[in-house]
Structure 1
């Protein structure tokens, strides 16, 4: 299992950054390799990705969502990956977005890419494009303010 941790400061209020992050269907506009995301239910999304010429489809389940604080998810099938994005108020109009993701590279190409830091660089680029996307818009494209509580063991 590999872990990625990346963060970026965005010049928008925390509510704007969080609200935009809940609009999963806009992710292809700033995430490299994400072709489409369908919001199936409040807590389930279906992803279509194309990376290195390989198309993959998978579902992810939101395991925790606290408005203006965090969104956590896990894949529902192989390859396994899970993550959390947290939002930190730095000033009235400045937010730090932190992403932590655990994933399991699959096959030779993904393992080599992991060792070369390709996923780490791609994630950094995705956050930089998110910053440009949200700052250039000046506001979010929508919002989902619902809460999903972490399941108790």
Structure 2
């Protein structure tokens, strides 16, 4: 009998055991929000892993990330856009890592937005690499904060999907597709 591989993020897997294990791994006793997103990218796993592991490069495709300062091989400082023109900041620690396969992280206790998660890279044969991001975060102000973030398109579930799509574009074509004119260009022309 052939073995069937489930390419879905563990949190959405058809396997009850896999879903339960993912939920137990990523959620804590707080009212955290868990999300998982997957994309297949037509590039070698080692190349994608190496690009992602250089955390200072993440703002090249993560729209809301203003910057990531690498403080050590396992610690980084993140500055991220939030609703209302604000920014939120936190330090993140790499909690587990398998070269070429997976990076797991958790924010430190003083984070503006407590979060943790993992990014996994699995071979997809001729199709390239399956990249799965699983993130747990505790939105500021709970449900109200999540609703406000959603209204401003700053909600992590929306951003994760868009960021993975931009990562795919960057890795497959060498650039992130944008509209013909950016907002900044339109404002310059209007002035």
- TM-score band by shorter chain is 0.7 to 0.9
Per-residue deviation at 1:61? 0.3
Greater radius of gyration (CA): 2
Structure 2 unmatched ranges of 5 or more: 1-31, 176-191
Deviation by residue 1:102-130 (Cα, 9 ceiling, x = unmatched) = 00000265221467794212110000001
Deviation by residue 1:75-133 (Cα, 9 ceiling, x = unmatched) = 00233110001111011560000010000000265221467794212110000001111
Rounded Cα–Cα distance in structure 2 between residues aligned with 1:93 and 1:18: 16
The structure with the greater share of residues assigned to strand is 1
The structure with the greater share of residues assigned to helix is 2
Per-residue deviation at 1:57? 1.6
Q: TM-score, normalised by structure 1?
A: 0.82
Q: Counterpart of 2:14? A: none
Aligned 1:1-153 pairs, distance under 5 A: 1-52=32-83, 53-76=85-108, 77-78=110-111, 79-91=113-125, 94-107=128-141, 110-113=145-148, 118-137=155-174
Tell me the C-alpha RMSD between the 2 structures: 2.1
Q: TM-score, normalised by structure 2?
A: 0.67
Mean Cα displacement is larger for which, 127-136 or 100-109? 100-109
Paired residue total: 138
Contact preservation (8 Å) 1:14, 1:93: no
CA shift in 2, pair 1:98/1:120, >3 Å: same
CA shift in 2, pair 1:23/1:39, >3 Å: same
Contact preservation (8 Å) 1:13, 1:92: no
Contact preservation (8 Å) 1:74, 1:81: yes
Rounded Cα–Cα distance in structure 2 between residues aligned with 1:35 and 1:115: 19
Per-residue deviation at 1:32? 1.5
Contact preservation (8 Å) 1:84, 1:101: yes
Rounded Cα–Cα distance in structure 1 between residues aligned with 2:66 and 2:89: 10
Contact preservation (8 Å) 1:64, 1:71: yes
